[in-house]
Structure 1
Amino acid sequence: MKSVVIERPGSLTIETRPLPQPAAGEVRVKVQYASICGSDVHIWHGHNPFARYPRVIGHEFFGRIDAVGEGIDSRRIGERVAVDPVVSCGHCYPCSVGRPNVCSELQVIGVHRDGGFSEYALAPADNAWPLPESIPDTLASLVEPFTIAANITAFLQPTANDIALIYGAGPMGLTAIQVLKGVYGVQQVIVVDRLPERLALAQQNGADRMIDNSQLPLDAQLDGIKPTLIIDAACHPSILAEAVALASPAARIGLLGFSGEPCTLTQQSLTSKELSLFTSRLNSKRFPQVIGWIEQGLLQPEKLVTHTFALSEIEQAMTLFEKQPRHCCKVILKVD
């Protein structure tokens, strides 16, 4: 089988590898479509602190089960499935309180174990979620990105009356817009970014107001508005302090980033407004929720897709995703 392998940082190749055999409790997925995430690019360049090399990358993927391991019902063969990349132990403290995404022994498919940029991939059977026919093959790999928005909004508990501010109109920010508008009915969603093309995408995905802060600071453009819900989907270390300063008293702030750089906050800035600060990593079994939302028509994943490439064109696709943020959002890889 053909697999995209990062042998070491900076080395991206397509290798011919033996067909993997599912172990007990696993299924093998014949991958049909996958999509590129920023973390795939970070693994390629050696900027993902969690990656283990060599690695077959790709954690957003879809296909059909074509083989099962011991203990798995053979009737699952042929199922159309989207794969949750979060693999947890099931017995540590985080798992016991419903937070398998921060399991003490966490493994992520495509990061710690081989992923879906391959003709075949292995996954625990419980991580392979059947899809209704109403979700087309070409969009099915996008279930996973929407679970990121589902996870942070589960903490933030949006309401229709919230004034929401989203930093960043990249893929994470766009999925957050769709979830806030389509699922929770938030009536005012403001998005800030420095690229006009990304702000245009934000509008297409349902944002009510778009702000370009490349020249004029955000606080000077909000006209005194105090957001009650803020999502940082841009992940620059300077954002948190600004978000805290701009937030309404009693606001909720959600962080999606992994910056290792420090930021400066005072306890007073948080406590004086009694702000709630939430962090979110990956997803904690949100696949059924997101699949249901898409099936109900509450989300439109097609609005994220700007390009499609064959798996054999992976380097071109990854380079476009990285270098052309003005014109590129989600890139779909056709595998079979």
Structure 2
Amino acid sequence: MKSIVIQQPGKLTIETRPLLQPAPGEVRIKVSYAGICGSDVHIFHGHNPFAKYPRVIGHEFFGHIDSVGQGVDPARIGERVVIDPVVSCGHCYPCSVGRPNVCSELQVIGVHRDGGFSDYAVAPAQNAYQVPPSIPDSLASMVEPFTIAANITAFLKPTPQDTALVYGAGPMGLTVIQVLKGVYGVQKVIVTDRIDERLQMARENGADWAINNQHQSVAEPLAVENIRPTLVIDAACHPAILQEAINVASPAARIGMMGFSGEASSITQQSITSKEISLFSSRLNSHRFPQVIEWMSQGKLNPEKLVTHCMPGEEIEAAMTLFEKDQRACCKVLLKF
């Protein structure tokens, strides 16, 4: 089988490897489609502190179960499945309170263990979720990105009455916009980004107002319109955003942080407590796959609006360069295996 391997930061190869065999409790998946995520690019550049090398990357993938390990029902062979990349121990404190995404022994498929940029991949059987016929093969790998939005919004509990501000109109921001509009019915969703083409994508994904903050703070147009967002989500992940988000937010607002920067954010306690702001952070997803599969099958989400390119797996280097460099025309790139 052919596998896309990051040997070390900056060195990507396509290797021919022996066909994987599922261990007890695992399934083997014949991969059909896989999505490129920013974290895959970070692993390639050596910017992900959790990655172990060499590594088969890819945590957004879809395929068919073609073999099962001991203890797994053979009837599962042939199932169309997407894979939850979160592998947890099941017994530590976070797992015991329903937060396996921050398990004390967390392993992420495609980061800590080999992932789905390969002809075949293996995963725990419980991490393989069946996909209904209403979701086509070409879009099924998009379930995982929407679980990230599902996770943060589960903490924030949006309502139709909220005025939401989303920082960032990249793939994460667009999934958040779709979930806010299509699932929770939020009437006013504002998005801010520095790239006009990305802002147009945000409008196409449901944003009601798009603000370019390349040359001005988002606080300025919000002040002109006398808008104080009651819900703010940082999907741009820059350390400077948090204090601005606190400043522009309404009293009693909820702020969701999706960033993973190691740089310090400078914030004041007074700006938080004076408004009694609630801060939530979110990593990966906590058993959100069934929920997102249901939303997608019900037509509440439109993953096709995010997919701009689909390329053969062997063109991985060109695909990753496109994803990273062409933010004006490229949103989500899928690899076909």
For residue 221 of structure 1, give the secondary structure of its aligned residue in structure 2.
Answer: helix
Deviates more, 1:115-124 or 1:257-266: 257-266
The match for 2:193 is 193
Deviations 1:273-301 (A, max 9, x none): 00000000000000000000000000000
How far has the Cα of 1:231 moved from its partner?
A: 0.3
Shift of 1:70: 0.4
1:290 aligned residue: 292
1:117 pairs with 2:111: no
1:152-195 C-alpha deviation (Å, 9 max, x unpaired): 00000000000000000000000000000000000000000000
Aligned ranges 1:128-277 → 2 under 5 Å:
128-222=128-222, 223=224, 224-277=226-279
CA distance in 2, matches of 1:263, 1:331: 31
Distance in 2 between residues matched to 1:218 and 1:166, nearest whole Å: 11
**SS of equivalent to 1:53:** coil
Structure 1 CA distance, aligned partners of 2:233 and 2:96? 27
Which letter does structure 2 place at the counterpart of 1:180?
L
Q: Return the letter of the residue paired with 1:333.
A: L
The reply to whether residue 5 of structure 1 matches residue 5 of structure 2 is yes
Q: Any idea what the Cα deviations from partners look like across 1:59-111, whole Å, max 9, x if unmatched? A: 00000000000000000000000000000000000000000000000000000
Give deviations 1:11-62, integer Å, cap 9, x for gaps.
0110000111100100000000000000000000000111010000000000
Distance 1:55 1:259 in 2: 22
Q: Which runs of 5+ in 2 are unaligned?
A: none
Distance 1:139 1:112 in 2: 25
Distance in 2 separating the partners of 1:190 and 1:47? 30
Q: Could you tell me how far apart the structure 2 residues matched to 1:266 and 1:134 are?
A: 48
- The TM-score, its normalising length taken from structure 1, stands at 0.99
SS at match of 1:249: coil
Aligned residues: 335
The equivalent residue for 2:329 is 327
Q: Could you report, residue by residue, the CA deviation over 1:229-269 in whole angstroms, capped at 9, with x for unpaired residues? A: 00000000000000000000000000001011101111111
SS of residue in 1 equivalent to 2:256: strand
Measure the CA separation in 2 of the matches of 1:215 and 1:54.
41
| Alignment partner, residue 79 of structure 2 | 79
1:65 aligned onto 2:31: no
Secondary structure (helix, strand or coil) at the match of 2:158 reads coil
Q: Distance in 2 between matches of 1:216 and 1:248?
A: 20
* TM-score normalized with structure 2 length: 0.99
How many angstroms apart in 1 are the aligned matches of 2:220 and 2:229?
14
Distance across 2 between alignment mates of 1:3 and 1:112: 16
Q: Secondary structure at the match of 2:153?
A: helix
Shift of 1:215: 1.4
1:19 is the counterpart of 2:19: yes
SS at match of 2:219: helix
Identity of aligned residues (%): 74
The one-letter code of the counterpart of 2:258 is: L
| 1:133 to partner: Cα distance | 0.3
What is the identity, as a one-letter code, of the residue corresponding to 2:130? P
Alpha-carbon separation, structure 2, partners of 1:289 and 1:108: 20
Report the Cα offset of residue 216 of structure 1.
Answer: 1.9
* Residue identity opposite 2:78 in structure 1: G
Distance 1:215 1:243 in 2: 17
Q: Which secondary structure does the structure 1 equivalent of 2:142 belong to? A: helix
In 2, the alpha carbon distance for the partners of 1:81 and 1:295 equals: 14
- Cα drift, residue 125 of structure 1: 0.1
Moved over 6 A (4+): none
